Each structure stands twice: as C-alpha cells, then as structure tokens.
Amino acid sequence: MIIRSKSSSDIPSSEITPESVYLNRRNFLKEAGLLGASTAGLLAGLPGCARGEEPGQDQDLKAELTSYEDATSYNNYYEFGTDKEDPKANAQNFKTKPWSVKVEGLVNKPATYQLEDFVKPHKLEERIYRHRCVEAWSMVIPWLGFPMADLIRRVEPTGSAKYIEFTTLLDPKQMPGQRIPILDWPYVEGLRLDEAMHPLTMFVVGMYGKTLPNQNGAPLRHVVPWKYGFKGCKSIVRIRFTDKEPRTAWNVAAPNEYGFYANVNPTVDHPRWSQARERVIGKIRRRETQMFNGYADQVASLYAGMDLRKLY
Amino acid sequence: MTSARVPAGGAVGQGASSEVREEARGAPPELQSTPGSRSRPHRKPAAPFKEPRYLHAVVIALSCLPFVWGALALASDVFRGTNYLTAEPVTEIEHYTGKWILRFLALTLSITPAIAITRLGWLIRYRRTFGLFAFSYACVHFLLYLTLDLELYFSEIWEDISERAYITIGFTALVLLIPLVVTSTKAAIRRMGAKRWKALHRLVYVSSVLGIIHFWMSVKRDLTSPILFSLLFATLLGWRAVRAMRARSA
C-alpha cells in the first residue's frame, strides 16, 4: 500500500476533462440525431486510432463500439458502490495524482514508480476489445495502453515467478464501497505469467482516446479481453510476482461461482445463469457468447490439456 | 353533499363529539382525518373510520402505476435509446418488477394484522386486491423473463426452470399463487367452506418465502435489499406465528 499525502482537495483539470468531453459528445450525438440504442456506437470517430496490424485489432469491432456514455456510466467497480451507476456517481473526486505503483516479489528490478515513470517508456496504442462481464453483458471498448509483456520484460521476473498479482488501492475514505465488507478489500486479481505475457494482455491508462475516467479504473488498470471483466484490476497500486496462485477477490468471496481463470466460456455456466449468450449493452437482443470471447485463435493454446470445466 | 350514512354501531358509545364526527363522515375523504373524526379504535371500537368512497378505485389506479411507468420506460429505452432503466434495461425491468411482486405480497400480508390492530373490517377487500396485483406483477415478471431474457429459446427455458435452483424456486412461487387466484372469489369461499379456503390460502406464506429465497439467490453480492425485504416478511409472518401460538395456549 502507498502513503498518500493529503494535499489540496482541488480537482485537477485532467479529472474534469472527461466530463466535458462526454457532454460534447452527447451534444454531437444529439445533433446528429443518432442518440439511439443501436446506432450510438457507430459514431466513434476516434482521434489517433492505431491501425489494425496489432493483435486483437479486429476492424469489424469498430462498427460495434459501445457508446462512450454507456461505457463510462454503467459498470461494476464495487469500491465505489455495488450499483452499476454508483462508480460514476461516487468516483468523480477520486484523486489519481500523485499515483505510485509498486513492483515487488520475484523480480530482479523491484521498484516503486510514479505513474508517469511507469508508463513513459512504453508506446501507447489503441486496442478495440470485446469486454464480457461474468454477469452476461458485454461491451466493445477502445482501450489505450501498452502490452503488459513490455513491462514484465522491463522489470525482469526471476525464473521462479509463475504468477503475477495486482492490487487495487485501499482507501475507504475515498472509496466508500470499501467501508462495507462486501469483498475482502483490497481487491486482488492475478494471472499466470504466460497469460500476462500474452500480446493481448495490456495495461490501460485511457479509453476512447481520452484519459481513463475514474469510474473505469483510473489511473491504471489492466485488461485481459478473453477473460470475464472482473479479472481486470482497477486503480492498481501494487504488482507482485509470485510462485503461488494469487488469492483473487471474487474467487475468495464465492469460489464455486468465480474461478481463478475466469476465461469467457459459453459452455461452462455460472451456477445461477447461463453463459451461452450475452446482452450487448445498447442493444436489446442477446447474442451468442464466443469461446474465449472470440480470441480463441490467439489464446486457446495457453490452456491446452486443461479441464476448463474444473478450472473455470 | 349528501349527509352521511351512519353505520349501525355508529351511535353507540359516542360522547360529546358525535356531531363533529358525523359531519366529518359526510366530508370528502381528505377532510375525514381532521381531529375528532378519527376516534381511537382500540378504545372506541364501535366507531371505526369508514372506508372513503373512492379509496378502492384510487388504490387500484395507484397499483397500476409501477406497471405503467415500467412499460413506458422500457419502451422508451428500447425504441428511443434512453437509459431510464440503465444501460441494461431488460435486466433492470426484471429486477424492478420482481421487487414490486414482493411489495404487493407484503401489502397483502399486512392487511390481516392491520385489521387486527385498527379493527377496520372493510380493509379485508384490499387483501384480495393486493394479492391479485402481486400475481399480476409476477406474471409480467415471468413473461419478461421468457420473452426478453430467454427470448423464447425453449431448450434454455426448460433447462433454466428445471436445473437452476433459483429459477426453479421463483417459478414454484409463481405456480403456488395460481390456485389462490382461481379461488379468490366469494363464490369460491362459499363452495370450499371458510376452513378449507383458509387452509389453501396459507400457500401465500410458502410463496412469499420462496419469493424471498429467489431474491436472495439472484443477488450477486450486495445483500442490503434482500435483507430489508426479509425483515419485512419476517415481521409479517412472525406476527401470525405469535398470534397462532397465543390462540393455542388461550
């Protein structure tokens, strides 16, 4: 955990920007007469779009982008409340500056980075990924970030490191959800090292060409597009390399419902609901969920020989 | 304004304020709650608060409002792209109608205790009214689940109902209400006899408990709302348990 200095309570301008951007965008959508459930996503003319040679850059997904409004006002981030509208309502004054990230455990170069130094050496790129929640809804989001593998190479894990563990900030003063023991705070997530090294896995600092909004995990989160959304850890303050499988938050809370792997898998149902289909946010009809969320070509080999019914 | 009909027992036990009270009875419902018009029923049981003339119609109209609001909001979200029911309107409308089922069940179960406490016998008709609304909302809830959630994939429907405990429980809660609806008429009470009718209608307790379990199981992690509803139903059913025990020992 980091010690945060209690400086002024001023809201830095960088935190205000997304709101105005969002409002402008809304006006634009209204003016264009396209603020409709099925068409809002079509309009995402994104500045500085990376071209599609990158892994996971499916050009077809561009036409399916979730509206910025939905993606930033309807999500789970229990640190800011359990309703999906809570994160946006309660995260607006969350302080993301200064921010430091501690890298520790089985690495040759453990260090505590200021966020700027953590991100600076890497080239930010945009990746449009499907995002599938374990609750059977989905979005398509243009993330801005860099491959996790680049950072892992930078800090040089030792030969015995098998897993990587991420921890969210613990600060009940700023995160009202943490005052209630709904999960065993702070939120912890983890990946097998080969999953973390996979070119699709990325650290994210922005979305829709903008700084990551607080409610979406600012200032730093990670995204693993073939896993259920809860595998992505938000507001990361610690990255630990380890030889044991991390005890991840949802797995600790309800092990029969949420496994360590949490790969998107339409053939393995949640005990209480089917995972065969998903509701696309912004659309009414469901659609079929794809194996590994449509990334099977690229990631299925990671799980060769594993019983995905048991290791869900 | 016509003068009030004074019920048979109306003149019994009235003191100096009887004129005031009679005047108040003839006044429109909103004026009937002026001081003096409402006697304290536990002291003066013979002069109960009369049912306002349009109360039943008003209650029925109000009970339809959640349905109307939900239907309008859903239509707007689907066809106009608004977010009245969040970005996931189908899920939200299921939760919304589900909570209204529980509210109407709670209202249904609160009528008997309300009568026992206030001795306002005319309240009894509202038990059936609220019970039928609970069933109506349950039907809407189930139909939304079949059409918008499962989209009538019949293979999935059967799998859900038979294999997923929380769906099975919710479905059972709905089915148990059907015989109660069928026998909700006065003719049915006469046909069955009060004793058998009462015994059958105790199924509403089972249905309520199953509904609450269904609610608990549908919630991911935040149990605030299920806990509050559970306390409410525990109070309503607990009151009956206490009354039954007292009756037995008396």
Q: What DSSP string runs through B48-103?
A: PPPPPTTHHHHHHHHHHHHHHHHHHHHHHHHHH---TT-S-HHHHHHHHHHHHHHH
Tell me, what's the pLDDT at B162?
87
User: CA-CA distance, B235 to A80, in Å (whole number)?
Assistant: 32
Interface membership of B91 toward A (CB under 8 Å): yes
Sign of CA dihedral B227, B229, B232, B234: negative
Strand partners, A101: A113
User: CA-CA distance, B178 to A70, in Å (whole number)?
Assistant: 40
CB distance B221–A78 less than 8 Å? yes
DSSP H or E stretch at residue B20:
helix B18-26
Residue B49 pLDDT more than 60? yes
**Are A237 and A231 spatial neighbours (Cβ–Cβ below 8 Å)?**
no
DSSP H or E stretch at residue A128:
strand A125-132
The whole-number average pLDDT for the span B37-65 is 78
Tell me, what's the pLDDT at A41?
35
Residue A117 pLDDT more than 70? yes
Collapse the DSSP code of A186 into the 3-class scheme (helix H, G, I; strand E, B; otherwise coil) and give the result: coil
The whole-number average pLDDT for the span B142-152 is 92
Least confident range from A42-46, A86-90, B4-8, B87-91: namely A42-46
* Helices B165-182/B203-218 angle, 10° precision: 150
Q: What is the pLDDT of residues A160-170, one digit of tens each?
A: 999 999 999 99
CB distance A279–B86 less than 8 Å? no
CB distance B217–A272 less than 8 Å? yes
Tell me, what's the pLDDT at A131?
98
Tell me, what's the pLDDT at B45?
53
Structure-block tokens of residue A51: 């071209």
Task: State which residue of chain A sits closest to B169, comparing Cα positions.
Answer: A272
Interface membership of A35 toward B (CB under 8 Å): yes
**Are A170 and A178 spatial neighbours (Cβ–Cβ below 8 Å)?**
yes
**Are A134 and A274 spatial neighbours (Cβ–Cβ below 8 Å)?**
no
Residue B50 pLDDT more than 70? yes
Q: What is the pLDDT of residues A68-116, one digit of tens each?
A: 999 999 999 999 999 999 999 999 999 999 999 999 999 999 999 999 9
Tell me, what's the pLDDT at B210?
98
Of B78, B87, B91, the CB nearest to A70: B87
Angle among Cα A250, A132, B157 to the nearest 5 degrees reads 90
**Are A176 and A81 spatial neighbours (Cβ–Cβ below 8 Å)?**
yes
User: CA-CA distance, A210 to B143, in Å (whole number)?
Assistant: 42
Tell me, what's the pLDDT at A284?
86
Neighbouring C-beta atoms of residue A109, cutoff 10 Å: 9
CA B205 to chain CA centroid, nearest Å: 13
